């Protein structure tokens, strides 16, 4: 495991840094806390989503651990990669963040469909 996700690892618990943005470590912990949910939803159906999700978390974490003080917010990671000219490089933390955001949006949409009463997984997907 990347993080020792604790039960309180929720996006709503993250305190935004006024000027600097989203704290990297807390964001990654919240993302990682979602992984067991994907297993519960359907270990076969959601296996590709889970692999993608975990892979993107790891890519961002790998960047974060190279300098936890410098990369304490997601915005600082992105700005660093933009300034270094690597933000659009395959497997960059910036690309991983983009795909992680898309994965979260997809999951939110799916869960909203289920919450609204959709019983058919394929339809909800």
The domains located in the chain, with CATH, are: 18-116 (1.10.3520.10)
Q: pLDDT at position 45, please?
A: 82
Q: pLDDT at position 64, please?
A: 97
Nearest to 94 by CA among 56, 49, 53, 55: 56
Distances (CA, A) of 32 to 53, 54, 86, 116, 119: 9, 7, 25, 25, 26
21 DSSP 8-state letter: B
pLDDT by position in tens, the chain (length 125): 444 444 456 777 777 666 778 999 999 999 998 999 888 888 888 888 899 999 999 999 999 999 999 999 999 999 999 999 999 999 999 999 999 999 999 999 998 999 999 888 888 88
Q: pLDDT at position 8, please?
A: 52
Is the whole-model pTM more than 0.75?
Answer: yes
């Amino acid at each position: 495991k990347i993080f020792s996700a604790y039960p309180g690892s929720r996006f709503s618990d993250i305190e935004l840094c006024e000027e600097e943005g989203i704290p990297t470590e807390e964001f990654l912990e919240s993302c990682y806390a979602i992984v067991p949910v994907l297993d519960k939803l359907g270990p076969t159906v959601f296996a590709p989503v889970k692999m993608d999700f975990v892979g993107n978390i790891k890519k961002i974490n790998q960047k974060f651990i190279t300098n936890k003080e410098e990369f304490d917010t997601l915005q600082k990671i992105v700005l660093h990669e933009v300034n270094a000219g690597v933000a659009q490089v395959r497997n960059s933390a910036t690309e991983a963040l983009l795909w992680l955001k898309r994965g979260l949006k997809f999951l939110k949409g799916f869960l909203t469909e289920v919450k609204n009463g959709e019983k058919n997984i394929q339809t909800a997907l």
